Chain A
């Protein structure tokens, strides 16, 4: 009886109590991940127009030009033109400050990019995505409200499109084609409403010459995608539109692209709905201090259609036996080669690259010379020691661009043109003339000597947020060859170690094991000898 009691008490003291202590504390920690705060937001209710535009007399008449539609809009919506004209959607530039450079006015209007080099000089093609009519050259009047294109953002009929190569104008009765018919302005204007994904997407999905070419995380699949592709925009769940997050007041749409903006203001953030501590878990929430939400929650982008990751201009301009431009498709049917543009590499389901980023960026300016190769078309600022910087997922688009070997500058190319013989590269395939014309139009010097140089542009990824179950796991980064293996300047548990301590530590373990085994062996030998002697 006493013996049983001793055994029971011993068991209690030796195993059950210690185990229970660990169990209780682990459960205490575990319970903190069990509940989750609801997302604190009110989703935008379906917009119901307060008026029926089809009853307005001003929208019944014949519209000879789209500019007349704009006049009709502004006859009721007074002052809206002033709002629009103050936005970067209209100006294509902003005054901003770049750390180390001071105040500067930059935007799509004057910056080089890593795709078709630059918009200015290629107006007929690029300015199709301007929210105006007819920015075909420098004579465009930014003060004339009639030049505003209200319909491209407010059309609800999906019948209004700007025509290719017309600097923002839709087709007219004279130049209409099957793909681009002249719009029925009465029908379109009588059915206007708030911008939908389709409206934003017509430019933001197709920038760079095709669907998903530029962003990788913004493309037409988002119009109707699964929960796995994007938890917010999925038609299976919230079916949110762009402006649900990109809150808009007085036509100023919040958010801006990092590739053309420098200051960390007017951003759209996850926190505006989810707060900065959404996990109900201290350890995960702590990561928010230095890891962007996007890093874990967007493990891959270009989930449906491919995006361009490499664009080599240097092979452009080759013509077939008949002297005509040609193209070669890759296995997925995307262009692998175009005479007009060179070689591409497309990819889908891409794991982002990861960089420190504090929300501010630098850009290659027209006045800059090449100081490093690859040339950074934009530079994301931030590092570990900068407490405002976080680790971000980034699409890096790399390529080769033309540069002036004497002036050591990236070249603006004259690409788009209406006719052969005027020097546009896409018509005449002559590098030197295209460079000369592009640089001249942008008022930059061009020596006539050129080569090609590697360039890259950094696009932080924000869309295509994956379901919670797809978010990165701890060990995706906290491991020796994890996703952050190339991010330097800080100690990451699981990834980093002191080689010296590892060698000493493992050495001591091996030594002690060896000593223990040897000692035990000698004891066994000694004991058996003694038994034998006694035997």
Chain B
């Protein structure tokens, strides 16, 4: 009911950004389902199919990351992921109490600043730590040929344990991430924005 009159519909997420996001989400879900089947957590596609899908999805993920890195730099969208301490307390306070009182979001979205400070940190950790560790351990897993070549490793054990640990972190991320979709302006506004690209942002800031 409040301040709606001062809001304007803008294209927040470009086509590539949405393609990146949804491809990545499908790949991560696929990697998670197949990966945990390989881990014998449950049976789903069949072990062999899971292994093949997991390898295929890993390659797709690698290609997607290459495209995304290129895109992030040429469009300067990488700036969205630069961590900041500004507003961080307010953002935490919002999730802990403000949200229950229907308070306003402390961080305003703009085309070059779409993420709140918590998102910035979490996504940055994903991009520079979790994904690279998962990719590196994953490709070691794939191309590790026992104590011989091409990489000298005594055992698969540590590679596998790190990979599994990363997978659990991603599941935790996914749960919280999916829930936080509902904490936008309205319950579905964030989801709609990530699908159509458009969202309502406050007029003066959007300019």
Interface residues of A (CB under 8 A from B): 6-7, 9-10, 13-15, 17-19, 21-22, 25-26, 28-30, 283, 286, 289-290, 384-385, 387, 473-475, 478-480, 490-491, 493-498, 501-502, 504-506, 508-509, 512-513, 515-516, 519-520, 522-523, 526-527, 530
State the main secondary structure of chain A at its contact with B. helix
B52 touches A29 (CB 8 A): yes
> Which B residues lie within 8 Å of A28 (CB)?
56
The CA-CA distance from A17 to B147 in the complex, in Å, is 40
Instruction: Point out the residue from B43, B47, B157, B167 that lies within 8 Å of A496, measured CB to CB.
Output: B157
B168 touches A475 (CB 8 A): no
A386 to B, closest residue via Cβ: B147
B161 interface hit (Cβ, 8 Å): yes
B176 touches A504 (CB 8 A): no
Given the known interface contacts A9-B15, A10-B197, A501-B164, the answer about A283 and B157 at a Cβ–Cβ threshold of 8 Å is no
* B25 CB, min distance to chain A CBs, angstroms: 8
* CB within 8 Å of A: which B158-207 residues: 160-161, 164-165, 167-169, 171-172, 175-176, 179, 182-183, 195-197
B12 interface hit (Cβ, 8 Å): no
The CA-CA distance from A139 to B95 in the complex, in Å, is 97
Range for the number of chain B residues in contact with chain A: 35 or more
B68 interface hit (Cβ, 8 Å): no
A10 touches B145 (CB 8 A): no
> Which A residues lie within 8 Å of B175 (CB)?
509, 512-513, 516
* A31 CB, min distance to chain B CBs, angstroms: 11
B160 touches A496 (CB 8 A): yes
Interface residues of B (CB under 8 A from A): 15, 18-19, 22-23, 25-27, 30, 38-40, 43, 46-48, 51-53, 55-57, 59-60, 63-64, 95, 99-102, 141, 145-148, 154-157, 160-161, 164-165, 167-169, 171-172, 175-176, 179, 182-183, 195-197
B23 touches A519 (CB 8 A): no
B102 touches A478 (CB 8 A): no
* A475 CB, min distance to chain B CBs, angstroms: 4
A15 touches B22 (CB 8 A): yes
Instruction: Point out the residue from A289, A496, A523 that lies within 8 Å of B146, measured CB to CB.
Output: A289
> Which B residues lie within 8 Å of A493 (CB)?
38-39, 141, 156, 160
> Which A residues lie within 8 Å of B183 (CB)?
523
A-B contact pairs, 11 of them (CB 8 A): A10-B196, A10-B197, A22-B30, A22-B57, A286-B145, A473-B48, A496-B160, A509-B171, A520-B179, A520-B182, A530-B102
Given the known interface contacts A28-B56, A387-B147, A473-B48, the answer about A505 and B165 at a Cβ–Cβ threshold of 8 Å is yes
> Which A residues lie within 8 Å of B95 (CB)?
519
> Which A residues lie within 8 Å of B172 (CB)?
508-509, 512
Known: A14-B22, A512-B172. 16 other contacts (CB 8 A): A6-B196, A14-B18, A25-B60, A283-B52, A283-B55, A478-B38, A490-B156, A494-B39, A497-B39, A501-B161, A508-B168, A512-B175, A516-B175, A520-B179, A523-B99, A523-B183
> Which A residues lie within 8 Å of B30 (CB)?
22
> Which A residues lie within 8 Å of B25 (CB)?
18
A526 touches B22 (CB 8 A): no
B164 touches A505 (CB 8 A): yes
A509 touches B168 (CB 8 A): yes
* A509 CB, min distance to chain B CBs, angstroms: 6
> Which B residues lie within 8 Å of A475 (CB)?
40, 43, 46-47
Given the known interface contacts A29-B55, A505-B164, A506-B168, the answer about A21 and B23 at a Cβ–Cβ threshold of 8 Å is yes
* A388 CB, min distance to chain B CBs, angstroms: 10
A513 to B, closest residue via Cβ: B175
* B79 CB, min distance to chain A CBs, angstroms: 23
B47 touches A22 (CB 8 A): no
A519 touches B40 (CB 8 A): no
* A496 CB, min distance to chain B CBs, angstroms: 7
A290 touches B146 (CB 8 A): yes
A20 to B, closest residue via Cβ: B23
Given the known interface contacts A387-B147, A478-B47, A491-B157, the answer about A501 and B40 at a Cβ–Cβ threshold of 8 Å is no
